[in-house]
Chain A
């Protein structure tokens, strides 16, 4: 069951391997992008999807930790350090957004084409919001808020661990309460800017929540996956109890249901009203081969995980839960692909470019490398929380 190699050695190897892979992958992508204008355009499309995919565990960690600071619960103390390491990647995500700001706006967003806007009264009406300058300013604003929140939470949490000061704890709660609301609002607008405005005529008021919930789900799955790897090593196998995985499994199930709820509500409302300004979005995503992707999403992003997670035993089994979490993480990328990619094809058929696969893997390697580096920087568990919870004693009894 347990892995004999020390965890620190494994993590060190993983970090090096990740950075090497990231250098190779991103280097290859940039080279390929420079070869032809078509490739450049494709690069930005794939890169945007990779960016949105990896933004999720970084921002989602921030959101889940803030949520946990207010609700409590043993599950959150168990995965706290991993989430803190993940949210320390928010500045990295800001850095990764720079290429889009510099070169990506024109190839990606139709509203940035002056000739298109000139011929379109609706886009002219939106130009006050959808223009290069304001888009850039907003993006910088979102990242400032997120970086501030992530660093504050990490700093306050570290101070509490060191000093056990109630003042730090109270401050943590205040920042979390205000921060969670701010996060939901800013992430919603980020989703409108980066995702929804790819098809600038279309709008849906629930679109922001779709991203917020997706980020929460991705984070929980990511945390389970990391926890299951860490738990193979002594003494961490004693730190994680079955009940933690049970609770995390319940939370994953709740988020899977929320995702289905929000997705289905949007679909039903738009489908039944059948308005010409709204339905094209779904027509592009349910025809020309895209319906297969949609059905796969229904099956692997909702029905199958939901049915498996209904069972109590699967949630208490670390390996089974980790497998489901990994499957959902794959489905998360399929969803991002289904949300974003059809926008570039203007009703064309389903096609997958090699960059659509390589970009998320390369960005992911960089992300994982930075994550492992953050993880190694601080103790993996908070002994104070562990003592107070009686976790360390309890866990050794089973």
Chain B
């Protein structure tokens, strides 16, 4: 299923800019990490993100000191920002796994220049996601009670609860993603080790490279291990967000209990994840001069994936709306009516605008080729996906089965500080990553070099940038 090489009907731009050879690829990527001088922009960016991460710290300290009451939770809205943000972050992570595992197995070679930082993004997003349920349990220091281990308290988790499935799904996901990322980095660590000038960096990269010498046997085992891990990671793309959707769907709350939830949640996760990859990739390629590596082809392909997954998400919304009426169940139709014209109508219609209307612009090739417009659309998608979870969690809970218990919900300043703080943490980790690790896989990019030359000639079509 090769797209770049094996498609006689290929009309798109190429996966790597013209004029590159093995040496220039290596120089270009390693120089970002090994350059002596740190660019001023990096310091500013890191400073801003670190300050926001400080806000996270304050919000956590306040929460631990005073309890979950500092959040806006009430009865009936017992799940608020914590769940919204958890699902939002977990979803964002999915693009990394999809790019690194599924696109690898499907031999989509264009993935090569974006997989490394997409994987990094996955790990950072899962870290941010994990903070929320951990804090939401109230006593994070007892969170290990969620694990089934023999103890004298006669304590055993409820295996019928999807919240427990989450524990397994997310921890497996974090572990496999981290392993996958690290194993992919090993040959590049060796390159950095060989190229580093200062002793401490040589030693640090040397230890991380685990004695990689690039021997044929190393490569053979490496390829096997990498493919096996890709196979392991593939079901995780689907399983993690399926389990997250079960958190809602196996309950009986109108608006949560819908059989379409698993596929539509998974599509939404990939959708938001690709939007976040683009949000990171577009500034990175401009600032670090990587336009030859992250080409228009990557951006266009990602835009197409965003459009495709968006259509699945829109299909999910349409099914929910239709069946709210078709079910003939007054709670179902009441829920949908409440979403559309109830007190949270602004959230629902902003969601429709961000997630259904605006992404339709991606049908147009001119939009897909305009980097600035793509960037703006991706920011809107990120907002839209946050709103989606807000609508699902809050509108369904705030109006439950008994009108007497209906109540409104709004996040407090501590909720917002925690949320913005995790964005700061995410940004901090991204900035550290691009300074200390190669953000594009060097050795995989090198494999593209001869093909890009041959590919241009063989396709027989004019190259369009």
Contact = CB atoms under 8 A, between A and B. Distances in A.
Interface of A: 70-75, 77, 122-123, 125-126, 129, 166, 169-170, 177-178, 181, 184-185, 188, 192, 201, 203-209, 247, 261-262, 265-266, 268-270, 272-273, 275, 277, 384-385, 388-389
B8 interface: yes
B260 interface: yes
B261 interface: yes
A205 B252 contact: no
A265 B320 contact: no
B318 interface: yes
Contact of A75 (B1, B9, B319, B329): B1
B263 A72 contact: no
A120 to B, nearest CB: 10
Given A73-B1, A388-B460, A206 B11 contact: no
Interface residues of B, number: 39
Contacts of B346: none
A206 B263 contact: yes
Interface stretch (B242-250, B290-298, B409-417, B444-452): B242-250
B262 interface: yes
From B238, B242, B315, name the one whose CB has the most chain A CB atoms within 10 angstroms.
Answer: B315
Interface in B254-272: 257-263
A273 B252 contact: yes
A273 B251 contact: yes
B319 to A, nearest CB: 4
Contact of B6 (A74, A188, A269, A272): A74
B6 A262 contact: no
Contacts of A262: 262-263
A204 B304 CA distance: 29
Nearest to B266: A261
Contact of A261 (B246, B251, B262): B262
Contacts of B258: 205, 269
A74 B10 CA distance: 12
B3 A269 contact: no
DSSP class of B's interface residues: helix, strand, loop or mixed? loop
B328 A126 contact: yes
Nearest to A172: B9
A254 B319 CA distance: 24
B156 interface: no
Contacts of A384: 8
26 contacts: A72-B6, A73-B1, A73-B6, A74-B1, A77-B8, A129-B326, A166-B11, A169-B9, A181-B311, A201-B328, A205-B258, A205-B259, A205-B261, A206-B259, A209-B260, A261-B238, A261-B262, A262-B262, A265-B259, A265-B261, A268-B246, A268-B250, A273-B251, A275-B257, A385-B9, A388-B8
Given A269-B246, A273-B250, A273-B251, A205 B8 contact: no
Given A184-B315, A385-B8, A209 B263 contact: yes
A203 B260 contact: no
A206 B263 CA distance: 9
Given A166-B11, A185-B318, A205 B323 contact: yes
Interface string B433-465: 000000000000000000000000000110000
A389 B6 contact: yes
B250 A247 contact: no
A88 to B, nearest CB: 21
Given A265-B261, A269-B258, A275-B257, 5 more contacts: A72-B1, A72-B3, A73-B1, A73-B2, A185-B318
Q: Is the interface of A mostly helix, strand, loop or mixed?
A: helix
B3 A73 contact: yes
Given A73-B1, A206-B260, A122 B328 contact: yes
Contact of A71 (B1, B250, B327): B1
B250 A272 contact: yes
B145 interface: no
Contacts of B9: 72, 169, 385
Residue among B1, B252, B258 having the largest count of chain A Cβ atoms under 10 Å? B1
A173 B80 CA distance: 43
B242 A265 contact: yes
Given A208-B319, A261-B238, A273 B6 contact: no
A71 B106 CA distance: 11
B221 interface: no
Contacts of A188: 315, 319
B329 A277 contact: yes
Contact of B11 (A122, A169, A185): A169
A275 B252 contact: yes
Contacts of B328: 122-123, 125-126, 201
Given A184-B315, A205-B323, A277-B329, A265 B6 contact: no
A177 B260 contact: no
B404 interface: no
A389 B1 contact: no
B160 interface: yes
B363 interface: yes
Interface in B121-160: 160
B332 to A, nearest CB: 9
Contacts of A185: 315, 318
Contacts of A169: 9, 11
Given A266-B259, A269-B246, A275-B252, A203 B11 contact: no
B224 interface: no
A397 to B, nearest CB: 16
A275 B251 CA distance: 10
Interface in B315-338: 315-316, 318-320, 323, 326-329
A186 B340 CA distance: 24
B315 A269 contact: no
A181 B160 CA distance: 36
The 10 closest A-B pairs by CB, nearest first: A388-B8, A205-B260, A72-B7, A206-B259, A73-B1, A122-B328, A272-B250, A265-B262, A205-B319, A266-B259
Contacts of B460: 388
Nearest to A76: B1
Interface in B1-34: 1-3, 6-11
B250 A203 contact: no
B249 A269 contact: yes
Interface in B158-194: 160
